Amino acid sequence: MRKFLVVLDDSRECLNAMRFAALRAAHTGAGVEILAVIPPEEFNHWIGVGDIMREEARERIHAHFEVFAKWMRDKQGIDPELVIREGDPMTEILSQVQADPEIGVLVLGAGTDKKGPGPLVSYLTKNSGNLPIPVTIVPGDLSKERLETIT
């Protein structure tokens, strides 16, 4: 089964990327895989403190994931998968794409502030010619209604 890969983070635009992936998956009979990446700099403390922080990060990710997963199951009939990786977000996204041959599209939300679309979108669009799958960039300020119309 083809899957849409979406990156879970704390950004506002993540919501639109999740919506888009779930709606497209529901309309095309595909699945959704949600990737959360824990950056390594969060654990540069003493070993015991780093372990506690790592576990707390995983708990936050699971709680955040469950909100999206419940909506996808209840509204779209999609049961998403969660993958948690630790490391550099760019490296881990590319590693996940390589590790799972069913991933057919990477879906990212673009930020709307003056800083630009965000580091993931900026990096991946610059390097999109070398990616093994297409990237869909969903505008962060697209309305829910508009998303439903175009998916």
Q: Which of 119, 118, 113, 110 minimizes the C-alpha distance to 90?
A: 119
Residue 86 host element (H or E)? strand 81-86
pLDDT tens track, the chain, 151 positions: 799 999 999 888 899 999 999 999 999 999 999 999 998 765 555 666 777 788 889 999 999 999 999 999 999 999 999 999 999 999 999 999 999 999 999 999 998 888 778 888 888 778 777 788 999 999 988 888 998 888 8
Query: What's the sign of the alpha-carbon dihedral 49, 52, 55, 56?
Result: negative
pLDDT for res 137: 93
Residue 6 host element (H or E)? strand 3-8
